[in-house]
A and B are shown apart, each in its own frame.
Chain A
Amino acid sequence: MIGWISKKVAERRRQSGFTLIELLVVIVILGVLSAVVVFAVRGTGDKGQAAAYLTDVKTVRTAEESFCARFGRYGTEDELVAPPDGGKGFLSEKSTYSDVELSSGGTCGSSSSPNSAYSVRVGLPTAVVSVAANTDQWPTADSATPGYRTSYFAYPLNANVYDPLIIIGSDYSLQPGVATSWEPIPTSVNRAAFTSANNPTPLPLPTGITYTNAPDRPYNKTTWRFHIRQGVKFHNGADLTADDVIWTWRDRQAIMTKQAADSSLTTVTNTLGFTKNGSPASAPVVPDAFDSVEKIDQFTVDLTPKTENLRLPEQIAHPKGAIVPVGKHFDGSTGGLPAGPYNGNGGASTALVPGTPVGSGPFQWMSYTSNPDFSGSASFAANTVYWGVKAQVKQMNYTFILDPVTRANKVLAGEADMAIDVDPLSVGAINSGGGHVVTASYGQNLLIYINKVVKYGPGGTPKYDLGTDPAVRKAVSLAIDRPTFVTNIYQGNAAPGRWMGPPGILGTHANDVPALAYDAPQARTVLDSAGWTCGGGASGAGTACGASEYRVKNGGTFAGRSLNLRLIGNDISLSQAGYDLLVAEMKAVGINLQADRLSVTNRSTEYTAGDFDLDLELPNQNDANPAFLPTLRFACTRTGTFRFAPADGTNGVGPAVNVTKSGNPDGTWPFGNTPCNTGSPNTTPAVLGPFDNTYVPAADNATTQDAAQAAAAQQMKILVGQNQTNVVVPITGQFRIYGMRSNVNLGDPHPSQTSQRWVSLTKS
């Protein structure tokens, strides 16, 4: 028996040993075979692709030469499809694989080949770029509030997946996006008359989906007409038409309505991103930004804002105005939002169904892993049939990392091709570590707002009131050594602060705003002559105070008060060293600055409470409205009783003013910057106090972007100018820094990261 068992065991052992060897051989053979097959197939695939590229380029070149023969010049790809004379196209449709880029100078029909007058960019891109990105705020269909965390913060990805009607160029010019052109239909023209009498061939009424307009729609304001680009395809293959544009704005509007109606959604950013004043729960909110959104024909849409708004094209030139296909929300979800007229409260909503975001932009959404701690990842693929300039990389894979040093480390360690928002202090390491940086100049401003609203402590003691003294404001502005900030804090990767926004937003009028001087002796003189003397003694005509001595008012309004100012700011806007530098510079002119570098949350709380003299911020300019930043902190956003410094800039505290919103019935800032009703024409109550806002209405009412820029420049001059009010003190203009490996490059970085499109990104 035992013998039999041991025999069996031995047999099994032998057998299994044999099979094992056999198995190994089979695996090796299979492995080799599969490798061969994979390589062979891939080879043919590539060959097939390459042949297709060549054919495509040949076709485009032939078409260009024919175009040249007829028109005496080379044409754009659009012109090759639809020639300017309306004749038959040279191409039946736009090339799938190639982009035509025209350059000036070359002559049509010259024998040199390829002709330098145009180039055909060939082939599907193959590079996959890994990106260490800063913020993970891609919207996802979310269990608690599906569809409501929609577009606003999805930087910088939304600008790549979606197309807005109008794209902001890197110089803040308005460039055609989904809309090829747009024009205002003036206030004075009756709309009905316009469509029938002024227009020889009345446009057909909307077909397909129709939407009810507000019955009482008053046509007493400018309607904006947008002509939609033809031939734009969504990533799902559907054509983009007026219906999608209508749906998009209706969807945004419905979300706002829903948001206003449902108080549990108060924490949610409205999708338009246009601020609504008033509380959803207690105030009669008019959620609509638009009176009407109307389809004129398949490729024409009219938008009529609720209040007169000549800055509309500049405001919607923002990725948050991106067009989604009918039935989809920005986050890719479907269903859910209330149907109904634009003017009413929405109907019932149903549950949203999570889905894939679909846009028409240069990249299409592939995958996204959400993480509440901002450490998810996302992938985007190039849209090979994009209507505009196509992406030059095949795919972008994002990893979201909050810490800038870790992002730089990722590039240095070769784990990422590119890092977004590299710390200025890491630039040297990337440059010397086999990589390079690309900077977008002056996109953000580090600046100080000076509080002119007087807060009253217990017993009616005024607090944080020294900002009402023009001498103090002027001294603060003069005391800041901007070049030192640039050199020491930013290691050269910034510019001395001068404007409130990026200079590009002011176009040709940027130089209307004077450069700011650093002049500590002048600051001391200003303070001395205003009675702020070292230790409160006699005026010393600009002498520096002792080592631990600060200024005290020797008479007049703030008699006996020490020159103690409190600055608040968050820890993202500026490093601790930056705060320390501010303290040291203020000390040099005798100002005792308490600089509190707080968390974003704590700073926000202190700001809302008004417990500060100086507020340090790093505001963005993300749309193309030049009046945006001058208005931002000075809009009517608070109610209650306040005392302000007189608007004429003189010293002292004005009368108590009751601030209500009654003067602003629809509360739709910035749709018409109607000031709040204060009972006093001279004061514009605001978070930070009144200012001479002569030019804001001028910018609002300008009919051209240029005129608006001119007015905004004048307004900035008043706000920042040293001989004016000095309520805004720019410190530096920030550069956005992209760090990348040497084989990666980014052309034309956008000063506004929101609008950064990755079509100029290359990887070799």
Chain B
Amino acid sequence: MGGYAARRLLLALPTLLGLSLLVFLLGSLAGDPSDELAARSDPEAGVTAEQVAAIRHDLGLDRPLPVRYGRWLGRAVRGDLGTSLFTNRGVGGQIADAFPTTLVLAVAALVLIVLLAVPMGVAGALFHRHWQDQAIRALALTGASAPGFFLAYVLVHVFAVRLRLLPVAGLSGARSVVLPAFTLAVGPAAMVSRLLRASLLEVVGEDYIRTARGKGLAAVPVLVNHAVRNAALPVLTVVGSVFGRMIEGAVVIEVVFSRPGIGQLTYNAVRSYDYPVVVGTVVFGGAMFMLVNLLVDLSYGLVDPRVRLGRAR
């Protein structure tokens, strides 16, 4: 298992490299922030061509792309992701500052996903084809179909402004994570509940469950030992994916709820052409995704002994 993990990590390196090259190319396609930077140095005045040229030179943008990428990569492997064009802070530091906020959101969302999805999934399987199953399905699908920003506005208006139960936005204690995490969790929870339901139905239909039942085992241990364990596989995949893609999910949520996480960081960086930050966050997001996927794959073996790691998938 250790060897497998090492091999996967090694395999991740070229992927990460390709990813960074792609993002870097994208950033360079975007053009040149020098004009904007010059203008920003004093918003109440104009810009001269010399100022722009000087800034371009300072940023190294007058050099060819391969040189720039090489320089960036050389620094990146040493942990230096460059400096933000606008805050003049290290990109790594900014990501490190923003990450905990996003992590808290993702973990809270994960908890909510499990809390919402497991009862819905189990109930769905138990009441298979009954009205309860249909009602749960309708609820889950509608929730998953509503865009997050729409859901967020409605939730804020009802729970924060009208009922004053939860904070409107910002980072003010544990309560402030509830609404954003719920908004983030609704879609994946619907997805997980559907998968869980399908898996439970599938597993319950399998021979070995019948065998186990035939041996006279009580229903509950059967469900625990076999069904839930098996159903956990696809669910784990979804949960891993949600976690791995938390930066993607966090963008809208963090913007709407004014949370200073990675999503907000990326959004602001894109809006201000702060390409070192953009490259940094996207590469970081990709690395997170790969890492979480690896962890998920490794944990398959723990959840389901039938999964033997080390073979090509």
Contact = CB atoms under 8 A, between A and B. Distances in A.
Q: Do the two chains touch directly in the complex (Cβ atoms below 8 Å apart)?
A: yes
Interface of A: 142-145, 148-149, 263-264, 266-270, 273, 275-283, 371-376, 399, 401-403, 406, 409-410, 412-415, 599-601, 604-605, 607-609, 632-633, 635, 637-640, 669, 686-687
B211 interface: no
B291 interface: no
Contact of B49 (A148, A599, A604, A639): A639
A687 B84 contact: no
Given A145-B88, A281-B54, A640 B268 contact: no
Nearest to B264: A373
Contact of A266 (B54, B98, B170, B271): B54
Q: Which of B33, B58, B98 has most A Cβ within 10 Å?
A: B58
Contact of A273 (B44, B87, B161, B268): B44
Q: 8 closest Cβ contacts across the A-B interface?
A: A637-B46, A279-B50, A281-B54, A275-B45, A144-B88, A375-B260, A409-B168, A372-B87
Interface in B141-177: 156-157, 160-161, 164, 167-172
A185 B140 CA distance: 78
B208 interface: no
Nearest to B87: A372
Nearest to A280: B54
Given A278-B50, A372-B94, A639-B48, A601 B170 contact: no
Q: Which of A149, A278, A372, A607 has most B Cβ within 10 Å?
A: A372
B185 interface: no
B272 A600 contact: yes
Interface of B: 31, 33, 35-42, 44-55, 57-58, 83-90, 93-94, 97-98, 156-157, 160-161, 164, 167-172, 255-256, 258-260, 264-265, 268, 271-273
A409 B53 CA distance: 44
Contacts, number: 162
A277 B49 CA distance: 11
B45 A637 contact: yes
Contacts of B35: 604-605, 608-609
A144 B46 contact: no
A414 B172 CA distance: 14
Contacts of A148: 88
Contacts of A607: 39
A695 to B, nearest CB: 20
A372 B39 contact: no
Contact of A406 (B38, B85, B169, B171): B169
Contact of A282 (B54, B84, B89, B168): B54
Nearest to B257: A406
Contacts of A372: 84, 87, 89, 94, 97, 260, 265, 268
B48 A279 contact: yes
Contacts of A414: 164
A605 B36 contact: yes
Q: Which of A263, A283, A413 has most B Cβ within 10 Å?
A: A413
Contact of A268 (B41, B50, B164, B170): B41
Nearest to A372: B87
A609 to B, nearest CB: 8
Contacts of A639: 48-50
A144 B45 CA distance: 25
Contacts of A413: 160-161, 164, 167-168
B262 to A, nearest CB: 10
A279 B51 contact: yes
Contacts of B259: 375
A507 to B, nearest CB: 22
Given A282-B54, A637-B47, A669-B45, A601 B89 contact: no
Contact of A269 (B41, B157, B268): B41
Nearest to A149: B88
Contact of A409 (B42, B55, B156): B156
Contacts of B255: 403
Contacts of B161: 409, 412-413
Q: Which of B48, B83, B157, B255 has most A Cβ within 10 Å?
A: B48
B90 A144 contact: yes
18 contacts: A263-B57, A263-B58, A266-B55, A266-B58, A267-B40, A269-B42, A270-B41, A273-B44, A275-B44, A371-B260, A406-B168, A406-B258, A409-B156, A415-B168, A599-B272, A608-B39, A635-B45, A686-B46
A264 B42 contact: no
A282 B272 contact: no
Given A371-B260, A399-B170, A605-B36, A282 B50 contact: yes
A608 B36 CA distance: 8
Contact of A267 (B46, B86, B94, B258): B86
Given A144-B88, A604-B35, 15 more contacts: A264-B58, A268-B88, A270-B42, A281-B53, A283-B50, A373-B268, A401-B258, A406-B169, A413-B164, A605-B36, A607-B39, A608-B52, A637-B46, A637-B47, A638-B49
Nearest to B51: A279
Contacts of A608: 35-36, 38-39, 47, 52
B50 A275 contact: no
B257 to A, nearest CB: 8
Contacts of A686: 46
Nearest to B47: A608
A143 B89 contact: yes
Given A279-B53, A600-B272, A637-B46, A375 B264 contact: yes
Contacts of B36: 601, 604-605, 608
Nearest to B40: A267
A373 B260 contact: yes
A635 B46 contact: yes
Contacts of B50: 278-279, 281-283, 639
Contact of B89 (A144, A275, A600): A144
Nearest to B167: A415
A143 B86 CA distance: 13
B258 A403 contact: yes
A601 B47 contact: no
A282 B44 contact: no
A311 to B, nearest CB: 15
Contacts of B156: 409
Contacts of A375: 170-171, 258-260, 264
B45 A267 contact: no
Contacts of A276: 42
A336 B171 CA distance: 35
A753 B262 CA distance: 30
A63 to B, nearest CB: 46
Given A278-B50, A371-B260, A409-B161, A267 B88 contact: yes
A282 B53 contact: yes
A600 B49 contact: no
A686 B45 CA distance: 11
Contacts of B54: 263, 266, 279-282
A373 B265 contact: yes
Contacts of B45: 275, 277, 632, 635, 637, 669
A373 B89 CA distance: 12
A55 to B, nearest CB: 40
